[in-house]
Amino acid sequence: MSLDSRTLAKAERYALIIVDMSLGFTDPARSPLAAECGSVIDANRVLIERFRMAGLPVIFTTVAYSSPEQARVFREKLPDLDVLQSGSGLELIDPRLGRLDKEVLITKHWASGFFGTDLHLQLKSAGADGVIVTGLTTSGCVRATALDCLQHDYRTIVVEEACGDRDMDAHRANLKDLNTKYVDVLSLEATLAHVF
């Protein structure tokens, strides 16, 4: 028996949340958490340009740790996270995305961009009632952030080509599950047509 899953109505004002497109996740030569993601970067660049042209908010998240107590159980489960130390350079947003200084950067310690951060306040102050979620990784921080968007009552779209994962099976399975139960998963082309 299949679920009765519907497409969400269009939000009045979308914000773009780019999850963890930092060097710790985009530079496999420097980090065990990273994977080749050139096409994901390209898709995000298209979205960033369109959001900037429309004067809509662009928000980035990154992960950085400055003490052993931060997210200690998460880091116990996934010790590779320890490379994401503040000041290591791996917490920096990949320069190929061209983040502007005026664009919000949320530093987080857990999977969701909302947990322990002011992301919800940033979205409210920007007047957003909808969110476009992209970034890395689909099965981890993108999924967690997208679920929390829903749980904060934002109409949420995850852009298929603008997300990536080290495990393509997990990427596909999570996009399918997100689209069925929680958010709308759209292609880049469909997202641009829907928002703009």
pTM of the model: 0.96
Q: In this model, does residue 31 exceed pLDDT 60?
A: yes
Q: What is the pLDDT of residue 1?
A: 57
Q: What is the pLDDT of residue 61?
A: 98
Catalytic status, residue 141: yes
Q: In this model, does residue 55 exceed pLDDT 80?
A: yes
Active-site position among 37, 141, 149, 163: 141
- Residue range 19-23: average pLDDT? 98
Q: Which fold has domain 14-195?
A: Rossmann fold (3.40.50)
CB contact set of 173 (below 8 Å; sequence gap of 6+): 139
- Residue range 86-113: average pLDDT? 98
Residue 132 near residue 47, CB atoms below 8 Å: yes
Backbone angles phi, psi at 82, to 5 degrees: -60, -15
Q: In this model, does residue 5 exceed pLDDT 90?
A: no
114-135: pLDDT as tens digits: 999 999 999 999 999 999 999 9
- Residue range 15-20: average pLDDT? 98
Is the bond preceding residue 137 a cis peptide, omega within 30 degrees?
Answer: yes
